[in-house]
Structure formats: structure tokens, C-alpha cells
Amino acid sequence: MIRDYFVLGIKNLRNRRIRSWLTMIGIFIGIASVVALISLGQGLKGAILSQFSEAGSDKLVVQAAGLAIGPPGSGVIRPLTEKDADAVRRVTGVNLVAERLIRIARVEFRSQQNFLILGSLPTDKSRALVTSVMRLEVESGRLLTPNDASKVIVGNDLATKKIFDKKLVVGDKLIINGRNFEIVGVMTRLGNPLFNQLILMNDKVMKDTLGIIDEIDIMAVQVKPDADILKVAEDIKKELRKSRDVKKGKEDFSVQTPAQAVEALNKILSYAQWFLVGIAFISIVVGAIGIMNTMYTSVLERRREIGIMKSVGARNSHIFTLFLIESGLLGTLGGLIGILLGVGLSQLIVLSMGAILGPNIIQAEYPLLLIAGSLGFSFVVGSAAGTLPAVQAAKLHPVDALRK
């Protein structure tokens, strides 16, 4: 019996092909958006977790807090200083402290100017910590040595994209803040887009070039293997409160553990993802209204057919089930098309992001729950939208139906 309902439902949809396709547009656009957004969001979360796991779970990030203008830690009212770095080094459980500067500066190449991000490399033993966290390697040329005075290495985008009129290569000369530098290396493409447009130079050279005396934008802190990272983080906060003469709860700095960083990023991504999914649901609601309208029209057009079915013994429940299944099929077919479109759209975005950021940076994920849930939800939406028209069809009196 159920099989007959589905056969009749499919036959009726085929007889009204154009109307059926137009009715499903809202559903499959909405479902496509939901599938694409959630699959990309899951893939992005996976990529972020991968980046953090590769950087290591034994590292903390310390930076000044407050309203910053520019890259993280820079441009704050009260930056970190060497005194703060020494306070962090005194904490039991701290293995290494790498001091970093990240600033925006005027860069000139062949009379063309641009404002780009400069990053410093420590020249002490903490240098290895920074290069390992960044996974710093060169595609051409060489890495900087601690003794390089007027040398820089540049991010991959500066050598593969036209940030200037000409792509940069090893041997090119740059003028940074009025000082001449030679490019000795081009970095391999990295997962963090910021790094791909970065210009790296040694710490002392950067301070001299930009006139920085005693400022630190960000500190990477490596914790000893046997130390409790959460306890070390709390101890660092205590020492920095003493060093910067601030009370608990009034801190003008932040100490972030890997778990906190991942949690914060996951929250931001989740909020953004569900906000966009909410917008996509508007399309699904529009699709549901379209299904309801189509089914009401179908009831009006098929009054005679309903009258004949009732006159030969069809019950109200039979008519109701037929129209309900028909509307459910509209939702399901719209959902199926939407899933296929969503998968295709997310793969297109992955390929586009791969071309920009490098291969395998982001991969879309398609959990079975997402696919099955989208298909089931489509059927529920279609069936719910068709409930009132189905009730109207079931209540038709056979005599009244045959008269029209």
C-alpha cells in the first residue's frame, strides 16, 4: 500500500515537472548552503586543530592586552618589555622564552611602495623555538643566519603573487623604512595566510630599522616536558602582575594556553557558522511555503480526481496520506539535489582555497549525520508544509468534489 502511495506521488510530480522544479528551488538552495557551510566549518576546525597539534601542546603565548592597532600585541598602550620577559623566564617550569616583534612598515621595491608586515627572528637559543612553531623552510635561497644584518626572507605570496608590479625573487633589493635590504630566501607556503605575506629579519636589525628600544609584541613560551602547563600559565600571570604592577582581574596582558586558543577559535567559528546556517534556513522556509502553495494548487486542480477516488472507496486517511507523501517527496528530492550541490560547492571552495593558500590546507568533511540529517530534515519540511493542504484534500466531500 505504502509503495502505491510513493508510485502515485512520483507520477503526479512528473506530470507537473516545471512546477515541481520551481517549488524545490528554495529547498535545495537552503540545503546546499547548510551542507556547504557545515562541511567547510568542520574542515576548518580540523585544520586549526592540526595546526595547533603540529605547533605542540607545550607552548604558551604571552602578549599585551588592550586596544591594539595593527598585528597582535603591537600598538597597545603599554607593551611588554624586557623586564616582563625576564619575569617570565624566572618562572619554574619555563624552558625557553622567544621574544617577537610584529609590525607594519613601509616597503619600497623599484620605486613602488606598499605597507607590509615585518616579523623578527630571535638571535639567541630561542630561535629554534620560533622556526619550529612557524615550520619555517625556504622554497628558494636560504634561511637567515643570526649574523645577517641587511638580509631578509619573504613570504611565499610576495614571490608568487604581484603584491608589487613584479614578483619578488632571491637577490632583489627592498627599501624598508629607508634602509636597504637584500632578499636571501623565499619561504615555502605556510598554513597561516599571515605568514605568506611576511618579511622576516633578525630581531636587533628590526629594532634598529624601526627605532624600537624596549618593546616586545608577543612572547612564545616553551614549557618543560615534566611541568604542568596550566600551573606554569598561572605562575606566569602572578609574575607579570608583579612586574607590571597590576592587580588580579586588572591584567593588561594575556597568557594563552593551546587549549584556550583552540576553544576561543572554535567558539568564533561555531558562532559564525550557525549564524550563516540560520540565514540559509530562511531559504528553506521560503521553499516550505512554496511546497504548501503548490500542494494547495494541486488540491484545487485535482478535486475531480479526489471525488472519483472517494466514490470508489478511498478513505479520508488514504487521500491525506497520498498528498502528505507527495509533499514529502518534493522536500526529499529538493534536499537530495541540495546535498549534491552543497558537496560540489564546498569542493569548489576547497579547490579555490587550495590555489590561494596551498594544497590540503582546508578539507571539507561530510559526516554521515550531516547527509542523513539534511535528507531527513528535507522530508520533514516537505511533509509539514503539505499537512494543511492534505487535510483540506481529505475533508472534501465526494459529491462536492465531482461537481467542480
Whole-number pLDDT of residue 2: 63
Query: Is the alpha carbon torsion for 347, 353, 359, 365 positive or negative?
Result: negative
pLDDT band at 191 (very low <50, low <70, confident <90, very high): low
pLDDT tens for 319-340 read: 787 778 888 888 888 888 888 9
CA 4 to chain CA mean position, Å: 46
Interval 306-310 mean pLDDT: 72
Whole-number pLDDT of residue 262: 65
Which of 79, 393, 388 is CA-nearest to residue 254? 79
pLDDT tens for 80-106 read: 989 999 999 999 999 989 999 998 899
Half-sphere exposure of 396 (CA within 13 A, CB side): 32
Domain layout of the chain by residue ranges = 2-52+263-403, 58-256
Residue 282 and residue 31 in contact, taking contact as beta carbons nearer than 8 Å: no
Whole-number pLDDT of residue 399: 61
Residue, of 279 and 402, whose pLDDT is higher: 279
Strand (E) positions, 16-145? Answer: 59-64, 94-100, 102-109, 112-121, 138-141
| Distance in angstroms (rounded) separating the CA atoms of residues 399 and 307 | 7
pLDDT tens for 13-60 read: 666 767 777 777 778 788 888 888 788 777 776 666 655 555 556 788
CA angle 179, 182, 187 (to 5 degrees): 120
DSSP assignment, residue 170?
A: T
